Homo-oligomer: A and B are copies of this chain.
């Protein structure tokens, strides 16, 4: 699906989020029931559109006329909430379709999550949505809340919040109703305004990615958050992520199901395809999605963003009131990847001028107990430190004292004057500390009790900012791929039926079509041809058996290296043939591949894989024992950008090998990256390639390129 199709599709979500009229099938006026909550809340909080309760048991509900059935409603219905028992759900859905309803939210449970019968009904829902264009949220969901239009089309958010510091801020999408509401409650309490809150349920029709794409375009949502267990359509998710990037909206996701134990639980929970953690992790990196590990971290991120700030880099200054706490915070900052940088000379001089002798103007700055005796010292120090152009953000450790508002006010003033993020870590007795955090929070000054997640939140935001910046400004160029590459590769690949495998000789032809260097080689049917081939290529040569039935050539005694004479070529030709027949008597043998013997280099592997959610992936690793002993590979989904390729190599544990160990010159990383990009293009052009292994890719020293020494392609 092209991105424009998906974008167009998103307009079909408007009736869900901005309906002019809502019908509630199974409505009641009991706010303790899912069927009663929407009606009670919609009327109470003044939803501006039309509200039609539908329930044959009542004449009126909440002072509104109650309809016997949907078709009795006089005007059109944009959105219909279905809150009836499972067995009545499908009829209600058909009725909705008949009425021309544009969007439906199904609260009812008992479908795919309970077993095959439920799953079958759910598939009917999906079919109906596809046929009619009527969009479905749920089933088995808690519904939708939007704040601007008081759209209480759910049974979890029943009140408009009374304490909103930043309205129209966070759009939140949850694949768990209960957990999502827990997150909603905790974040709401901090004064963060939700533009929308969506519980997605079983996603019979609308998926996580639809809501994400919708919020990316919604002018009243500034950041997007979510609880995610698994994506159904990887391409839609990638497109939604691109939209959020395009619109400059950070996406912060809690992604569960990382480990087998939790993935199993997630699968049984929503029936979601959890997919490979490694691929999700790659996708998040590729799209700048911020992975949230805890609610505390999420709160700090939101507080920093709500204050309209973001760290421009990772350089942090620490302002502490005791030496020990400064050291402990420096440890945490270093641990999570911030740089505790030296302060500039003039910064230190300015600090020394106001700090007592026994204080320290180094980073971490130790103000000492002078903070208690010199009024305004905290503010002065903070101001000086923030003026340092080597500092991207500041962390202050603040000891909460009952009745001592001065320090909090000082920090508020400093924060208001500066566009660098300032994080206050507040220690002290619980009551005082929480009161201090509340005060700071209300002034939009980020504050927390524990260092770890708060510091990680700052790190993640700095990384996000760096990602956005690098992505926009990256001058890395894409390799030029020959215009006829696709056509040439197509000619070869189209010959192979699904499930078949291409031999080395054929696979390398595909690689060459895409400009990927391979060994020079000639396929020889006879010993005589092999001798001529060796002469053409030049001694020494490598000889390999070429057979579609022998893919693990080494196991079959099918490879000889370093052959340096005509006699040896003749001899090995015969041995190869004999070995092949012994290994697999009925093997079809195409001949013997005579190829150049490559000089020494670093062995790597580059390949294509398939993820059932996100499709083709490109992977790279250090060859041989590194892959086997350490699983040292980096992976991205296709298409891979030049920036991705560079980061993939940086990600390898054994990357120092590429820098040149033991006096070796550095390896030609550029060449490897270039090949990775060509492989990505190949994967993108031919989704039928289930697997490609270039193993080994011999990488030579800087400027000398790399060469595919062996290759294998498997068709899906």
Contact = CB atoms under 8 A, between A and B. Distances in A.
Nearest to A185: B429
Given A295-B450, A358-B114, A628-B656, A265 B364 contact: yes
A94 to B, nearest CB: 25
Contacts of A264: 362
A72 interface: no
Nearest to A175: B324
A399 interface: yes
A325 B182 contact: yes
A716 B18 CA distance: 79
Interface string A461-472: 000000000000
Interface stretch (A56-64, A255-263, A685-693, A696-704): A255-263
Contacts of A357: 114
A331 B258 contact: yes
Contacts of A258: 331, 334-335
A262 B340 contact: yes
B259 A321 contact: no
Interface string A658-677: 00011000000000000000
Contacts of A352: none
A366 B270 CA distance: 12
Contacts of A189: 429-430
A376 interface: no
Contacts of A369: 178
A294 to B, nearest CB: 5
Interface in A98-134: 109-110, 113-114
Contacts of A179: 322-325, 328
A262 B453 CA distance: 18
Nearest to A188: B429
A324 B430 contact: no
A356 to B, nearest CB: 11
A324 B177 contact: yes
A334 B265 contact: no
A269 interface: yes
A174 interface: yes
Contacts of A340: 261-262, 265
A165 interface: no
A657 interface: yes
A451 B256 CA distance: 14
A233 interface: no
A177 B334 contact: no
Contact of A661 (B294, B450, B625): B625
A329 to B, nearest CB: 8
A110 B358 contact: yes
A340 B452 CA distance: 25
B178 A334 contact: no
Interface in A387-407: 399
Interface in A258-297: 258-262, 264-266, 268-270, 293-296
A330 B452 contact: no
Contacts of A146: none
Contacts of A655: 629
A712 interface: no
A523 interface: no
A679 to B, nearest CB: 24
A146 to B, nearest CB: 22
A36 to B, nearest CB: 15
B262 A628 contact: no
Interface residues of A, number: 79
B178 A325 contact: yes
A294 B452 contact: yes
Contacts of A256: 324, 327-328, 331
A333 interface: yes
Contacts of A326: 265, 269
Q: Which of A229, A324, A334, A428 gathers the greatest number of chain B CB atoms within 10 Å?
A: A324
Contacts of A294: 450-452
Contact of A362 (B265, B325, B428, B657): B265
A395 to B, nearest CB: 13
A549 to B, nearest CB: 22
A658 to B, nearest CB: 9
A427 interface: yes
Contacts of A629: 653-657, 661
Given A450-B296, A656-B629, A427 B324 contact: no
Nearest to A659: B629
B333 A661 contact: no
A661 B182 contact: no
Nearest to A652: B629
A616 interface: no
Nearest to A428: B185
A516 to B, nearest CB: 26
Contacts of A331: 256-259, 262
A41 interface: no
A399 B182 contact: yes
A335 B259 contact: yes
Contact of A452 (B321, B428, B453): B453
A360 interface: yes
A607 interface: no
B293 A452 contact: yes
Contacts of A229: 324, 327
Contacts of A453: 450, 452
A294 B174 CA distance: 30
A415 B681 CA distance: 59
Given A182-B427, A269-B366, A630-B654, A328 B254 contact: yes
A227 interface: yes
A269 B329 CA distance: 13
Contact of A324 (B174, B399, B625, B656): B174
A450 B457 CA distance: 15
Interface in A239-267: 254, 256-262, 264-266
A301 to B, nearest CB: 15
Interface string A171-194: 000111111101001100100000
11 contacts: A185-B428, A256-B331, A258-B331, A258-B334, A261-B330, A261-B340, A264-B362, A265-B362, A269-B360, A625-B654, A629-B661
The 9 closest A-B pairs by CB, nearest first: A176-B324, A178-B322, A179-B324, A259-B334, A262-B330, A269-B323, A261-B340, A262-B331, A256-B327
Given A110-B358, A268-B360, 10 more contacts: A114-B357, A176-B327, A182-B322, A185-B429, A254-B328, A256-B327, A262-B340, A268-B362, A625-B657, A628-B662
